[in-house]
Amino acid sequence: MKLTYDLIKEKIDKAVDIIKDIYPSFQYKGFTKVRISKARSKWGSVKYNRITGDFALTISNVFEDIQNDDKANEKLLNTVVHELIHTIPGCMNHGPNFKYYAALVNNKYPKLNIQRCTSMGQFGIQKTKKEPLYIATCSKCRRNWKYYRKPKLFDYISKCKCPYCTTYTLFFSTIKGIAI
């Protein structure tokens, strides 16, 4: 599914109808900003500006990784409704107020399932695991040390001794198969 601003806008309109249905006095100010992010840690988030009283919505492009379009659309609506509940007074966290409105939505719209959070694994999304960039290996015992950034000892590696074998030197290789 291609995640576009138009698609998000369409979901926001639907979400507003749903919230107004379960909470008729809901006064929707609207998300003043909508942003698509590359952050893969969460589906979406909402930021409140205390000074202006504005709400900004961020939606992760991780939705594009959901293979099934129907599921992706459903999950997107779920996420937008979830974030919209956060704009109801007293619902910024996932406390009792949030849970109360989430339960109202879930009861009236059985196809939706508003939760505090849902795992990405169930949608077939793999979290990209951080791999070390450099691995220093002992030429004798093959013990190794992983570094996620270029280590300071990179330039002196041939002078470094393995703390276990003490006389043998270390060498670097990268994990991505490219020898240094």
Q: Could you tell me the smallest distance in angstroms from the CB atom of residue 114 to Zn ion?
A: 9
> Between 99 and 140, whose beta carbon lies closer to Zn ion?
140
Query: Smallest distance, Å, CB 115 to Zn ion?
Result: 9
Sites of contact with Zn ion (CB under 5 A)? 138, 140-141, 162, 164-165
Helix, strand, coil percent values for the chain (each to nearest 5)? 35, 20, 45
Nearest distance from residue 117's CB to Zn ion, in Å?
A: 7
User: Judged by CB, which is closer to Zn ion: 66, or 138?
Assistant: 138
Specify the length of the chain in residues.
Answer: 180
Query: Residue 6 or 157: which CB sits closer to Zn ion?
Result: 157
Smaller CB separation from Zn ion, 88 or 162? 162
| Least Cβ distance, residue 168 to Zn ion (angstroms) | 5
CA–CA distances in Å: residue 56 to residues 44, 87, 153, 178:
11, 10, 44, 42
The single-letter code of the amino acid at 165 is C
Indicate the DSSP class of residue 3.
Answer: -
Nearest to 4 by CA among 83, 65, 59, 71: 59
| SS3 letters across 17-59 | HHHHHHCCCCCCCCEEEEEEECCCCCCEEEEECCCCCCEEEEE
Is residue 55 within 8 A of residue 85, CB to CB? The reply is no
* Residue 59 C-beta: closest distance to Zn ion, Å: 13
- Closer Cβ to Zn ion, 58 or 125, answer by number: 58
